[in-house]
Every structure is written in C-alpha cells, then in structure tokens.
Structure 1
C-alpha cells in the first residue's frame, strides 16, 4: 500500500492531522563557535566575594616556602648474615629462601610415641627411591630384584587389630584400608632415608653378586637424601618455636656501618607475615661472625606529593572522590589520637611528600643525609624529626626499631627478606587452649589431629573411635544389681581430645604459677592414661627420657589461645619453591566448660517391680 502524500506539510503539522513516529539514527551537536576560551574559563560573577573568602581562609599569607623539585639522599646499610634460634646454635643466614621459612620451620613428625605416622611422606620417599632405581642406566636392566629386596627390607608394617597399642591406626577406617593396601606392596622410604642419613649405606643388606652394583646404589642413596632435604625445609638442630611461650623466638645479626655488630631479635613472633615491627635491637646478646656492611647508596629522586583516597583538594571548584568520609568521624574531646589524625588529614596532608627508595631485600638501612632542592633553587639539609637531645627510648615513631630502655633510639629501617604471598595448606593440627573456671583448669582441646596417613581429622571423631575400639577389646563388666536408688561417683569423664593443664608453682617461687600438662584416666582400667595426639601438646613425650611440659600462665588469657600447624608454600627469587611446616598462634574464642565434676551422686537403674 503506498504511503499517503501530504500536500501542505506545515498545515498538517500545525493541525496534527497526520500523527507520526520520528526515528533518528544519528544526533549531532551544532557548535555555535570555534573558540573554546569561554568554556575553559572559571568565570566568577562576584570577584569581591571570592577575594574576601581567600583572605578569610588565610590564602594570602606568604610562607616563603617552595615545593621540592629534587632530593638527594645517602643510605648506609647492612645485610644480616647470621641467624640464631632462641637458645640454639648460630648458623649462616641463607639468601635462597624467605625469612619466614627460617623463622617458622619445624621438623615433620614421623612417629607418635612408638607408632609410625606420616605415611604419605613415607610412601612418597619410597616411590621416589623405586623411580631412581628404574631410571638409573646401570641398575634398570639387571637381573637381580632390587625392588623386591627393598620392599621386604623396609616394609610398611600392618597394625594388629587385636591390640590396644594399634588402636589409633585400626579405629580409623580410611587409615586401616590404606595400610592394608600398601602393606607388602610398597616400601617405607623414610626408614631407608633415616638409615642413609644416620651414616649407613643404601646397599646395606642388599644381595648382589660380587658387589658390583653397590657403588651405584650408594650414589642413589645420597641423591635420595638430598632430594628430601630440599623438598621440605627443616631446621638443622634447633627450632625457633618456644613451647613454653607458644611463639617463635630468634635473632638475626649483621655488621653496622661503624663496624659494630647489630643484633635484631624477634621475641614474640606468632607466625604469619614477618615485618619490621617484629624485631627489637638486642645489644646484650651478641652473635658474632657477621659479614661486612654494604657500600653506601647515593641517589637523586623526584619527590611526589602524598595523596590518599578522599583527600581534600586544593581547588574550590574540584570535588573529592568520596573515598574518605570525614563527616562520619565523630571524635570525643578526649580522643586525642583521632583529633590529631583529622588535623593531619584536613590541614597538613598536602604538606607531605614521598620519595622512592629501593633497597636490596633483607637490608637494615639508615639514612645518613637528605638534601632537598626546591623551586627557588635553594638546597636544604633535612634532619630526622626524632633526632636531638631527647632521642631516647621513650620517643616512638613509625618504622623505627625498639631499642629498649636506657639506650638511644634506633632510626634504621629493617626490610626483612619476606614474601608478599604464601599459600597455606590445610591445618594438620589445631589446638584451642581455654580456661575452665568451674574446674579450675586449662584445657588443650585438640580440634584437629593428624591421621597416620598425613591428613588432618576432627579430634572429637578420632577420640570417639579410639574409645569405642578400647571398649570393644575390653568389654565392661556388667555391674551388680543396685541396692540403692543412688550411687556415688568419684569423678565423671570428659572426651579424650580434652587434655588438662593444672596450675603448679614455679620451682623456687611460692607465688608464681605455671601450667603443667596432666592426663585423664583411660576409659578402660589398666590402660595407660590418655595422651595427646598432636605434636603441639606432645612436647616431651617422644624423647628419651620423657619429661613434663609446662606453659607460662600468661600465655592463656581469658580469651584463650588457638594454635595451628600447617604446611606453607611460596616461590622465592629465581622461581625456587620453598615448602615448610610451621606452627602459628592466634586468639581464642573465650572461656569454656568441660563439665568435669567430682563427688557426684547418680541415679541407678532399678529393676521393675513385679
């Protein structure tokens, strides 16, 4: 159908006789001029008001101060080269791994009492050894069954389900199934590793005609030890973990520019990210053997004005981005810290500049001098704000090391060799230390305990399964028929993953109290008391002779303390992979109640009356 033709278009539009829908596919602005000067001007209709406002705010007060253009500084630094765990031997501070690995590493536990554990690592070492045998060009095609000999010589022992000693490995269905699958088929590589590590040879006990292949086997044994030593970073002799204080303690040392030794000690490092605030200057415990200081670093840089989100802008017609809401800050008249912060943010924030300063990782640096050249060509020598006659230990400032009472303030900055990101594995052990005011005890609750296969499992489930296994092996004797409706019970029981700590006096002190690990009786009479299953609470049980375990009372506050053991993995410079096992400390969740009670009267079941 053809579209109707409108003869008089203006008349039709005026009378709206032919309504239509307009469609545009392009809209263009029509500029009225080619000059942008007026659009770029900030026109003021009342210039007198603006001048009065500037005078009111003090913008016409000249301070004769110029903005910095360049800055030249000189830095004297040293790189700590010695490491010492608290109470341990001094060792070199290596540069091929982050400092967190040295500060937190602990040896993996392969036994818990007399029971072998960590079968994941044991089987991994054995698999590595069998692969070395298969890939070796000398040993791969020989007629002798070296593989079978090593499996028989270093076997995976199958636990006995009829004994109480193997209840922990039999009660867990997954562990029991794993051990049944590998027993007699795979070798316990840790036994071979321990044999070679202790001075033995990999060829010991192997049947080889004419002993022709012993040198090749011994060479592979050395390769196996080197591989596992590099796989997981472990302390050589002494670990930094202090079980009495529940924290890491260690020291690093280097030679200061003046030739004296400077020792930095981390007294209370809970684990995690390691930074400058964890260290204090320790002049009373020298380490010795540090390397010479680094050459001076002299650089000229360009200062940049300090900025932060939502900062007040210097122009009246500019609008802040709203990143900081100063209107939401409501300080009291006595809240001096918040008032000082607001004064800095609103009044003096645009007077601060920042300078780029690149330092080698792991450097203890001190600024020897700073010269600033402003826009007027004047060269100014800048001194530290904390310098002067009152530069003692009471002066605190950011990024300065704690130097202790009676010593001058240390204005140097320590840049530890740490990493920004660490991959944390699942918790293999987790313990919560809580206070029980009703029982007047401290309980170490094993929330997560390690399985013999290497994973972590809920402690309550493991305790219930082991308890059921003991009762199955030793069924309780049915009691005699009661003669009274009530009976006397000396003490009730608590779950077996609750380990008690009792308060005792410190030897030689009648006032100071410490916490000593105790033990609850077993559900079966005649069996040993319940022992902890985590390495955190088994301190002193796996050494000869065993000894007690004590914890300072102040380490378990009313909020409690939470401990966790897990593997950590990161990459260092050059792409080297670092893996270590460490313990970390956190804040607990408050007090708790175990329900432990003494001298109880309980109801006895009565036979129904005829």
Structure 2
C-alpha cells in the first residue's frame, strides 16, 4: 500500500472521511494532582455497566457464588489406649510420654565384651549419689567408703583385655585420672537393681541410718529413670531391618482400630507413619473398660482460609509482598509449582476453615458436614477420600492407608499421635555406613564413628589404627624385638599372597542362604582376622565391631550371629547412627533418650580385598 501524506488532518478526522484502525499500546489514567484520594475511591458512575460486564463474562452462571454462613459437622473421636513394640508385650498407651521417646529409646551401653565403658555416665551417676547421700551424712568418711566399694576400673596397658581402652590415649588417660579417686555410680545402680540389696551394704559409716539411706536410694533410681529414658523390655528397634516397628490401637465400636508403623526411622512421628491393619481386630485382649468412640456435633460460622500473598477480594487493596507468585518461574516439568500457582491465584478464596481442637493421642473421623450458604441452600458434604483405598484417582489429605493388597474401603480417620514438636539431636555417638562391594561380593559395615570407653565419639579409622598399633606393640614386647617379615626368594620379583587386608573398622557382611529357602539371601555378620607379621599364634584373633549397631548377639551368652535383610542395603548404601535425643514435653518435663537414625548412603565402594593374588616384590634397598 503506497504511503501518502494527508493534508488538513484535523478536518479529515472530524469528518471521518477516511477509515482507520486505532490501537492503544497502553491506556491508563494520568492524575493531574499530587492527591490520590479521589483516584483511590474507585467511584462507580454506572452500576448497570458493571452488571452487564458480569453477565458478559459469565459470572452469573457460576455455581460457587454462595458463601457458607453456617456449618454443622458430625464426627467421632477415640483415644489410643494400647501400645505394642515389635517384640514386646501389649501395654497401656501412655500419652504423658512423647511417642518418639517411647518408641526410639534404647538401652545406653555400659559394658562391651565384658569391659566397663561409658565413663562419663559412670562419673555422672557417682557425683549425683554422693550429692544425695550428703543430706543423710555429710561426713567425708561416707564418700570415701562409697568410692572404695564402687571404684572406677583402672585399665592395665599390659593386658590385652583392656585394649579397647588403653589403645586410645585420650580414653586411657581419662580412666587413669579418676580410677580409685571417683565413684562408679553405675555399679551402685546395678547393685540396687535387686530388691534384696540396699545402698548401705558394706558401708559401716551409715550404721543406724538405714531408713534414710533407703529413701535417698529410691530418689537416686527415680532420678536416673527420669533423666535417661530407658526401655523396660524389648524395644521397637528391628535390627534385621534397621528400623523401628510398633503398633497402637484404639476402641472402635465392638473391636479396635489397629495402626501399625513398620518403617519408622526418620526421627519424627506423624500420621503418615501409620497404616491401618485390617487383619487385626484387636491388639491383645479386648478391654471391657475401654471408652467407646465419642460423638461430636459442631455448629459454627466458617472462616475463610488465608495465607501470605493471597489475592485480596477487594481489587484496590495490595497483596502481601512476602509471597510473590509472579516471581515463580516453573519449568515445563514442575507440575507441583503450577498447581501451587493455580491454587493461590484461582481457587484460594474457595477454602474455609472449620476449627476443632483434637487432643493428642486421638483418632478423629468426620462422618460428614451440613453447609448452609447465603441463599439458604443446605448441602451435605462427605469426605473426599471415601471409596476404594487402592483407587489411584482417590484424593485425600492427612489420611492413613490400608495395609494389604486387597481393595478395602478407604479409612477416613485422622491420626494425631502425641509426638514431640521439636527434638534436639546430639552429635552421633556411633555411625556405620553400610555399602556394597560388588568386586568382593559382600557388604561392608564401615564404622565411621565409634564411642570410646570414656564416652566420647572418635573417628572409626583412627581408632582402628590405634588398636592395631597397640596389638603390634604387645607382639613386639612378647617377642623381645620388632618382627621381621619373611624375606622373598633370591631373585624373585613377585610374591604370592593368600589375601589382602582392610582397615579394622571395616566389618564384612557376607551373603548367605536362609534355611528352608533357596532364593532369599540375607547378610550375615562375619569377621576379618587380625594377621600380624611374626605372630606365631595358631589361630589369629577375629576383629570384632566396636559399635552397638553391629554387635547384636555378641553380648549374649552364648554368642549368636547377626543377620541383616539384603534389601536394607541398596546400591546407594545406608548410613545408620545413634545419638542422644532431648525434648520438652507438657508440664515442662524433659526427656532424654538414645535413638537411632537411618539415611541413604553415597553409593557403592571398593575395599580392595583380594584373594590368591601376586604382588610385586620391591627392589632391595642400597
């Protein structure tokens, strides 16, 4: 189209003699004054125009225009009343204890291989007892007699039985500094474990004060149980699967609702850790005094759900800038971000809150709710998660699943366990990395952190090297001279070796077949031999693990083996650690317990272990 200049443009526009297309790139108001009061009033000059625009945009055809003004909810609640660890008996559920502390608690190891460990704990208990006994008799002779009767063990550097202590200078110096000078409180606690024993046994300075001493001894035992939450029977730790397993139940009609937690190792218990077990109608015997589910009917005015950055219904108000939906840059595969944006910008004002306070250790199930909107319409609303539990199109939030493979009706109850809100976790006392070694066709339990007999954590590899140096020094002392390696044959350039060695903190787990099954394979704890140059012993000593995580069965009489399910060690490996946990519960009471955590490892590894191989002989030194 040829370009031409229009003359008398003003008269052409006024007469509209030439058709044209007008485009505005930006249309906005331009205030002529510094005062914005009138501009912010949003004055409406033509209300009919706004109604026609609503009709044009189809807003009058919406079926969600009625806001709820009255909600009546019918629900039932029942309390958890039974608890059972995986290998323990059924016991009453105690909601005065955080569920994590009750489930995770493990006995604090005070002996290992018949030797005294946990020096820090022994000194702590000893100081506490001497502090309590001063209220009965402040005489220094009483403390001296208790120290003499319950002394700290003095390790002998020349005794191989004390190698676990004397091989580490920091542990050996700690024991030497307090041996025969401080009291071992664990020994007194073990003495008081029998009802026939008394704290004044063997203490002549307390003759005539036996009644007062018994009262103090009861306080001492209660103090230990309060400070260190110890298990009274078989715990919930499943060593074959490296996880906690337990079950709880609550009255549910004429039977009970049994909830099981079979894969708990995260450190925080919540509704997602539980599954309903339909195969068990009760947990133990039915309690005739059990309180049946309690019905509730709530009637209230619903409140709209709000969050930071939520679009305001009043268009002239500015949203909170703490949540900027416009700054979210989702990729094409970020479906979760897209759903979040759609919820926040489109459906955010469609959600209302009907609050109901549920006590801890409670199972609540909503039967339904009657909603009345501003137009007087009443609607009966049922749970969105109803239907088949295995239906992949079923939508639900905060609901537990059904254990099993059948098509059972979905469970619509909400489980609120008495879980700790925040748990303080100490540094790991023990840490074991389980990794696969495909070249050696086995799994290694690498003790990365061990607990020294003094109670302090130490690097596992450094502790293993110190232990080997201690045994080599003992061998040199017995031989009277440093052992000399066997010289190679004259002119030989290679040497045949039966097998190579690995650090002593690498504990092998070899695959074995389960009896009666020719397909399933489990991992059995084995041991490497401590082979030293010049050692003439007919049978070398096996290297035993130093962590309690790899020592199940070694403290039993007689000793038993340890089997681990193969699927618990994937190709990425597994890291298991123990540490002290602390939390504050209701009424200000604190709980301290020893718990276990499990995490994913960092992949496979190679130990370099080889059998029947040839090694180069180094050239002779000049």
- Of 505, 508, 511, the match for 2:513: 505
Residues 554 and 377 of structure 1: is their aligned pair in 2 closer, same or farther, counting only changes over 3 Å? same
> For 2:234, which of 235, 238, 241 is the aligned residue?
238
The alpha-carbon distance between structure 1 residues 297 and 591, as it changes in their structure 2 partners (threshold 3 A), is same
- Describe the shift of the 1:396–1:522 C-alpha distance in structure 2 as closer, same or farther (beyond 3 A): farther
Contact 2:576/2:598 (8 A) holds in 1: yes
Counterparts in 2 of 1:43 and 1:188: CA distance versus 1, 3 Å: same
- Normalised by the length of structure 1, the TM-score is 0.86
Corresponding residue of 2:615: 602
> What secondary structure does 2:299 align onto?
strand
Q: CA deviation at 1:337?
A: 7.0
Deviation at 1:347, TM superposition (A): 4.0
Alignment correspondent of 2:422: 421
Match of 1:563 in 2: 576
Q: CA separation of 1:328/1:148 partners in 2, compared to 1, >3 Å: closer, same or farther? A: same
Query: What displacement does 1:368 show?
Result: 2.7
Answer yes or no: is the 8 Å Cα contact 1:192–1:202 preserved in 2: no
CA contact (8 A) 2:200 2:213 kept: no
1:96 positional shift:
1.6
The residue that corresponds to 1:223 in the other structure is 219
1:160 aligned partner: 156
1:256-271 alignment runs, 5 A limit: 256=252, 258-271=253-266
Partner of 1:445, secondary structure, is strand
Which deviates further from its counterpart, 528-537 or 339-348? 339-348
Distance verdict in 2 for CA 1:327–1:225, change over 3 Å: closer
Taking a change above 3 Å as real, the CA distance of residues 259 and 177 of structure 1, as seen in their structure-2 partners, is same
Give 1:43 deviation, angstroms: 6.8
Q: Say if 1:207 and 1:270 are closer, same or farther in 2 by CA, change over 3 A.
A: closer
- Cα distance, 1:38–1:336 mapped onto 2, change above 3 Å: closer
Task: Give runs of aligned pairs for residues 146-295 of structure 1, distance below 5 A.
Answer: 146-203=142-199, 205-208=201-204, 211-256=207-252, 258-285=253-280, 286-287=282-283, 288=285, 291-293=290-292, 295=294
Q: TM-score, normalised by structure 2?
A: 0.85
Of the candidates 498, 505, 508, which is equivalent to residue 490 of structure 1?
Answer: 498
Deviations 1:196-230 (A, max 9, x none): 11334234642538942333333322222221112
Residue of structure 2 equivalent to 1:120: 120
Q: For 2:58 and 2:202, how far apart are their aligned partners in 1?
A: 93
Per the alignment, residue 353 of structure 1 pairs with 352
Judged with a 3 Å threshold, the aligned counterparts in structure 2 of structure 1 residues 478 and 400 are, in CA distance, closer, same or farther, namely: same
Specify whether residues 325 and 62 from structure 1 end up closer, same or farther in structure 2 by C-alpha distance, changes over 3 A only. Answer: closer
Q: Structure 1 51/145 Cα, relative in aligned 2: closer, same or farther at 3 Å?
A: same
Considering only aligned residues, what root-mean-square deviation do their CA atoms show, in Å? 2.9
Per the TM alignment, residue 608 of structure 1 is displaced from its structure 2 partner at its CA by 5.2
- Residue 221 and residue 316 in structure 1: after superposition, are their counterparts in 2 closer, same or farther (change >3 A)? closer
Question: What is the deviation of 1:119?
Answer: 1.1
Point out where structure 2 has 5 or more consecutive residues left out of the alignment: 1-31, 477-481
Counting only pairs closer than 5 Å after superposition, residues 413-452 of structure 1 correspond to structure 2 as 413-452=414-453
Query: In the alignment, which residue of structure 2 is the partner of 1:140?
Result: 138
C-alpha contact 2:449 2:459 (8 A) present in aligned 1:
yes
> Partner of 1:552 in structure 2?
565
User: Could you tell me how far apart the structure 1 residues matched to 2:146 and 2:206 are?
Assistant: 19
Deviates more, 1:399-408 or 1:168-177: 399-408
Could you tell me which residue of structure 1 aligns to residue 551 of structure 2? 538
1:584 equivalent in alignment to 2:610: no
SS in 1 for 2:218: helix
Q: Residues 316-357 of structure 1: CA distance to partner in whole angstroms, max 9, x if unpaired?
A: 66665453348622436xx87777666555544432222222
* Cα distance in structure 2, aligned partners of 1:569 and 1:210: 37
CA contact 1:467–1:523 (8 Å) conserved in 2: no
Provide the C-alpha distance between the structure 2 equivalents of 1:205 and 1:338, rounded to a whole number of angstroms.
70
Q: Distance in 2 between matches of 1:62 and 1:306?
A: 21
Matched length: 569
CA contact (8 A) 1:70 1:300 kept: yes
Contact 1:309 1:323 in 2 (8 A): no
Which residue of the partner structure matches residue 298 of structure 2?
299
In structure 2, the CA distance between the partners of 1:443 and 1:42, relative to structure 1 (3 Å rule), is farther
Number of the residue aligned with 1:411: 412
Give the equivalent residue in structure 2 for 1:81.
81
For the residue of structure 2 that corresponds to 1:557, the secondary structure is coil
Q: Distance in 1 between matches of 2:67 and 2:47?
A: 31
> Are 1:567 and 1:581, in contact at CA under 8 Å, matched by a contact in 2?
yes
Q: Deviations over 1:347-375 (max 9, x none)?
A: 44432222222111111001133122222
**Per the alignment, in what secondary structure is the counterpart of residue 101 of structure 1?**
helix
Q: Measure how far apart 1:235 and its partner are.
A: 1.2
Task: Specify whether residues 33 and 486 from structure 1 end up closer, same or farther in structure 2 by C-alpha distance, changes over 3 A only.
Answer: closer
Q: How far does residue 53 in structure 1 lie from its aligned partner after superposition?
A: 6.7
Deviation per residue, 1:420-478 (Å, 9 max, x gap): 21111111111111111121111111111001111211111111111111111113621
Q: State which drifts further: 421-430 or 404-413.
A: 404-413
Identify unmatched segments of 5+ residues in structure 1.
Answer: 1-30
Using a 3 Å threshold, how does the CA distance of structure 1 residues 323 and 201 change in structure 2: closer, same or farther? same
> How much has 1:410 moved relative to structure 2?
0.8
Distance 1:42 1:530, change over 3 A: farther
